[in-house]
Structure 1
């Protein structure tokens, strides 16, 4: 293994670039391994700041400073830890993470002015030494974009992480320099729109990934945030629609809170989420859609338009809270869907029978590649049984089945457990490795023992039960779980 040539080693290290423990161990094998792994480690050294002590990174970086600069900084009382360098480390660097680098720089001095002076020198050095910057995180000091050589270094930028507290003029500068950014991650800390972020997104020519995370603070705890929110969203989401042909990953986390005084409808009616509704209707090329917001409620106009949209390339759909009917609309043409993750289904007694039945049919007829499936607990009725069994027969790639508590018939929990046990033994593929059971499905001791006994010969299954009290009140269940864990029928158990 230690005699592999550099090309093979490089390919291995590229595949394992996120495994810091492995990469650092490779430094000690021999010189060839060390020389080959250094470029991989130093492409983004800031992500290893925990493993690779910050003081070591600080020492290496300050070693690049000229003797005159070192002397001047030392006179100012700034700690300089230069050392001889075995490699030209910074020549491999393609990533600038301002927040981490500022933390490393703080080693030099506790005085704010000294840190500012040191920042200027270090960022000037990084911009000069890094041949091209592919990844930039400017959540912190952002003057780096105005460095004289920044234009040349940032033209090839692929990924940008930023926050909305940054002055718009810095985004205007970036929009002028960088127009081939493929991934943009925005941390929203502003209660109002940042026009610079809108312009930056507008100028991109090949945007594929967009992520938005709300992290703003409201100073007065007695004020609801939507009372002071000045719509930081509409401009951004309107301009995103212009990237519908290229955008394939859309990840949105909007701030919303529920308490004893407000339910789902209250928060929806207080906050206008139409900016997200109509952006989604345009983004037809999405492969991954992740949404955490109370958007899919109480909007008949949106529902009608959603019926006409086809997300044909969708592979992963993850939503915090949604209506069963709307999920049906989104996945009815998604023949490539592999993961459907729903944290909570909204439902009502009037339409639940038809919508839940249609949901099962939609999965069965269109989502044959599904591997992870969230499914609502459905009524104990013959039509639902027939369709669910068809789903298990057709969806042979299914690995994880996650039931969510929705429909509930008090007193029939064990009956549902009997049915589910029988149908899983009879129809589930050998790929099924994980089952999550909510409180409104329960297994009698006899049913559970029969299920586990007949599961023998398959790959071990992980079982997760929400109704912990039901199983823990009788020690016989715990003994049963222990027995089948020893026999490797159960891989993991959570009760």
Structure 2
């Protein structure tokens, strides 16, 4: 029975592995719980949101593995280290499958403020760490130490699954990794280099099962004063190589620092090849008008897409991407734009969601024209999309003097057709509600789960005491969960 209990506990703790608060609390229950949770915590101990540079216990755990001879040597150099009298309740590092250079270096810095002494500690700690860990599944080499050149690195790193790195690292470091590690499934690159790093491109090229790719630009301290002529294309080579991983890649996430004089067409054509994506996130304004791209997007098919998150996109382009996305759960768009005919574009966008995206849970939609055709299609959308939990309107179409009329129409449609799963509604400046409309809405919302409402024009409501009293009333009655006034 105790064996069964331990197995069940392990399965439960596995589900909680992202929640350090719960896992740490489990250590204090009893020895069985502690023995079960320690291997999970120490599989990737650097992932949790704690201040590692102030955790003396971690420094003690890491340095206790050093031999007494090494401890005495380091102590004579002025490094703070306990030479004897220590024992550990568990062989923590035997469970470790992760090395995060930056965090481990922060812990090492507790031993001495001297750069030379920290180097000595690095030499010793990384040497035994690479020997002690049975295999390394997760490696973060930002602020890199030359760990890949240690004798045991080849054996320990062959099974690497996840790599986080930056582009300032010498290309030769990546060349060695490319020959050792060819089964990496997740690659996260922090781009701090204005030039191409051919090593990162070669590393990506050698992978046989790449599923997750994330790129974050981080080479500008002051965006407004940056000289963009310094940029010498760190992108094209890597993104062309990514096309070769189209069959396996299912997560594609990028955040570019955008120079509007720079040609990012290469990226958009890469996206045309990545039609097995489940998650597409672009936190940059890259989807500019391109007639050839639009034509090819019309015939592109993203059947497996589940999450689409984009900063800025043409409403027609967004429609092309989601038109066959039967499994889309989240559509998050910070801003829409169009060329000429927003009426047709917004109507087609609503229809496309209604016809294809039955599983949508989080939906961003532009404020559309106050026309009967649009509200009829929007009503159909609400009827079909019964899993919808969050509905957010974005400012796009504005008819001066019609804000309250739009609010009245919207309120009536939501009351009639919105799913009982709907928990969150975002309202921009272009839509406003009269006091009577809101009171009717809240009265008819009773019996549903409490709703959170985010209002764009806060001052419109905050400056009228009658609105504030209304909000307070329905908060007390449990109709409103949150409202930003």
TM-score, structure 2 as length reference? 0.97
In the other structure, the counterpart of 2:60 is 59
Whole-Å separation in 1 of the counterparts to 2:418 and 2:223: 53
- Residues 203 and 3 of structure 1: CA distance in aligned 2, closer, same or farther (over 3 Å): closer
Contact 1:49 1:57 in 2 (8 A): no
SS at match of 2:56: helix
Inter-CA distance 66–49: structure 2 relative to 1 (3 Å threshold): farther
Gaps of 5+ in 1: 257-266
Residue by residue over 1:253-309, the C-alpha shift from the partner in whole angstroms, topping out at 9 and shown as x without a partner, is 0013xxxxxxxxxx53x0111121110000010000000122111211111111110
Q: Deviations over 1:146-203 (max 9, x none)?
A: 1000000000000000000000000000000000000000000000100000000000
SS of the residue aligned with 2:299? Answer: coil
Counterpart of 2:428 (choices 438, 444, 467) is: 438
Matches within 5 A, 1:339-488: 339-348=330-339, 350-488=340-478
In 2: Cα distance, 1:91 partner to 1:72 partner: 25
Q: 1:94 aligns with which of 93, 97, 122?
A: 97
Asked if 2 retains the 8 angstrom alpha-carbon contact of 1:142 and 1:170, the reply is no
Once superposed, what is the RMSD of the aligned Cα atoms?
Answer: 1.6
Alignment equivalent of 2:290, drawn from 274, 299, 305: 299
**Matched-pair contact (CA < 8 Å) for 1:20–1:51:** no
* Residue pair 2:253, 2:282 contacting (<8 A) in 1 also: yes
Provide runs of 4+ in structure 1 moved above 6 Å.
1-4, 218-221
CA distance in structure 2 between the aligned counterparts of 1:492 and 1:451, rounded to whole angstroms = 15
Q: Deviations over 1:208-246 (max 9, x none)?
A: 00000000036897443x321000000010000000000
Query: Does 1:194 pair with 2:184?
Result: no
Q: In structure 2, the residue corresponding to 1:72 is in which secondary structure?
A: helix
Provide the rounded CA distance (Å) in 2 between the counterparts of 1:173 and 1:210.
20
Deviation at 1:46, TM superposition (A): 1.9
| Corresponding residue number in structure 2 for 1:314 | 305
Runs (5+) with no aligned partner, structure 2:
none
CA contact (8 A) 2:144 2:169 kept: no
Q: Quote the offset at 1:106 in angstroms.
A: 0.2
Q: Distance in 1 between matches of 2:152 and 2:310?
A: 42
| CA separation of 1:220 and 1:427: change in aligned 2, threshold 3 A | closer
Match of 1:68 in 2: 69
* CA offsets 1:73-127 (integer angstroms, 9 cap, x no match): 0111111136211111100000100000000000111000110111010000110
Report if aligned partners of 1:163, 1:187 keep a CA contact under 8 Å in 2: yes
Q: 2:244 maps to which residue?
A: 242
Q: Structure 1 length normalisation: TM-score?
A: 0.95
Out of 289, 293, 299, the residue aligned to residue 280 of structure 2 is 289
**C-alpha contact (below 8 Å) 2:220/2:226 kept by paired residues:** no
Is the Cα–Cα contact under 8 Å of residues 185 and 211 in structure 1 kept in the other structure?
yes
Counterpart secondary structure, 1:340: strand
Using a 3 Å threshold, how does the CA distance of structure 1 residues 452 and 20 change in structure 2: closer, same or farther? Answer: same
1:132 counterpart residue number: 135
The separation in 1 between residues aligned to 2:225 and 2:29, in whole angstroms, is 59
CA displacement at 1:55 relative to structure 2:
1.0
Moved more, 165-174 or 71-80: 71-80
The partner residue of 1:252 within 237, 251, 254 is 254
Aligned length: 482
Measure, in 2, the Cα distance between the counterparts of 1:304 and 1:288: 22
Distance 1:453 1:222, change over 3 A: closer
1:262 alignment counterpart? none
Contact 1:58–1:81 under 8 Å retained in 2: no
1:182 paired residue among 173, 182, 185: 185
